[in-house]
Amino acid sequence: MDDALFLPSGDAWLPTALSRGPWSADALHGGPVAALVARAAEHCGGPQDGSPPASMSVVRLTVELLRPVPVAPLHVEATVVRPGRKVQVVDVRVRDAGREVVWARAVRIRRLDAAGATAAAIGAHRPPGADRLAEPASAAAVPSISASYAGFHNGGAELRFVDGSFGELGPSTVWVRLAVPVVPGETPSPAQRAAAAADFGNGVSAVLPFDRWRFVNPDLTVVLERAPAGEWVALQATTDLGEPGIAVARSVLWDTSGRCGTATQTLVVEPRPGAAAAGPEPAAEHRT
């Protein structure tokens, strides 16, 4: 099994089997794509050695998935479109054989020196409500409901549920850990871990059964209040159905110290071919 989500291939990145998604063996999961985009946004405009710019943090990342991202060499291009000492905006484009498959935009903000009085002032004004979740070690590891082939959902990431489960309808709380690096030889950054985990929101909080319905997200927006610490990122995820064909998945992101951000996905909802006549699950079967 490949030991990263993407491998270098000339001037492109080649997805491995562990980056595939649950909807098709020929298309990527949004999590690895978001992580690769986050990496490009972090490194853009950095020193000549390719390391990220000092003292700048990605605080918002919006990824537009224009079409299914194929298991094929991907060219990633990042550009600082709004330079600045305090706030920067980075645009990222991902192409497959010249065809754009992803647009993304990241906002980077300068970090203050958190030593001494500055750290004390920030801590004093941080809002309450940073209750901790059950630790990942005490949460339940549950097999993916889609395990017919290797992918991100069942091999590239480890999931441990505090509440809920794959296949159990309604909200859930789940810890997510990257099982392999995003690219070989690099430890994933906190922003990359958060982006990879956040795209699970719609899958772990489904309100319609996976075998009869599709609820695919064409976008993902992640906002980080602070960089999540450690390997594990938790999602408290819910999905709300709106007008027919439309839903929104929302997640609160946590690390083992408390809340660290949020994520939102809009969803295209439609019956799977041949399953339309069955209709949706009764509302009484949804967990709340």
Q: What tens digit of pLDDT does each residue of 49-75 get?
A: 666 677 899 999 999 999 999 999 999
Q: Average pLDDT of 112-131? A: 58
DSSP conformational letter for 70? B
User: In the predicted model, is pLDDT for residue 102 greater than 90?
Assistant: yes
Per cent of the chain over pLDDT 70 is 86
As beta bridge partners, residue 256 has none
Please, which contacts does 127-133 make with residues 24 or more away whose CB atoms are closer than 8 Å? Answer: 129/259, 130/257, 130/258, 130/259, 131/258, 132/254, 132/256, 132/257, 132/258, 133/162, 133/173, 133/175, 133/234, 133/254, 133/256
pLDDT at 40 over 90: yes
Does 283 have pLDDT greater than 90?
Answer: no
Sign for the pseudo-dihedral over CA of 146, 147, 153, 159: positive
DSSP class of 25: T
Query: pLDDT, tens digit, for every residue of 181-229?
Result: 999 999 999 999 999 999 999 999 999 998 899 999 999 999 999 999 9
Instruction: Give CA 203 to chain center in angstroms.
Output: 11
pLDDT for the residue numbered 277: 46
Other CB atoms within a 10 A radius of the CB of residue 161 amount to 19
pLDDT exceeds 80 at position 278:
no
Looking at per-residue confidence, does 276 or 256 come out higher? 256
* Average pLDDT of span 26-30: 96
Cα dihedral 148, 150, 155, 157, rounded to 10, equals -90
Query: Which position has the higher pLDDT, 158 or 117?
Result: 158
Distance of CA 181 to the CA centre of its chain: 14
Banded model confidence at residue 46, pLDDT cuts 50, 70, 90 = confident
Mean pLDDT of the chain: 88
Instruction: Round to whole Å and give the CA distance between 209 and 204.
Output: 11
Is pLDDT above 50 for 284?
Answer: no
Contact 114, 51 (CB under 8 A): no
Is 202 or 273 the better-scoring residue by pLDDT? 202
pLDDT tens-digit profile of 160-174?
Answer: 999 998 878 999 999
| Distance of alpha carbon 163 from alpha carbon 207, whole angstroms | 15
Whole-angstrom distance, CA of residue 153 vs CA of residue 29: 8
Give me 183's structure tokens. Answer: 């690219």
CA distances from 147 to 68, 100, 222, 273, 277 (A): 20, 29, 27, 20, 26
Indicate whether 156 pLDDT > 70. Answer: yes
Residue 100 has pLDDT above 60, yes or no: yes
Predicted confidence at residue 286, as pLDDT, reads 42
In the predicted structure, residue 274 carries a pLDDT above the cut 60? yes
Q: What pLDDT does residue 149 have? A: 87
Residue 19 is given by DSSP the state: G
Residue 124 pLDDT grade (very low, low, confident, very high; cuts 50, 70, 90): low
Beta bridge partners of 179: none
Say which residues have a Cβ less than 8 Å from residue 124's Cβ, sequence separation at least 6: none
pLDDT at 64: 98
Looking at CATH, the fold of the domain delimited by 6-110+134-277 is given as Porin (2.40.160)
Q: Is the pLDDT of residue 113 over 90?
A: no
**pLDDT (average), residues 41-49:** 82
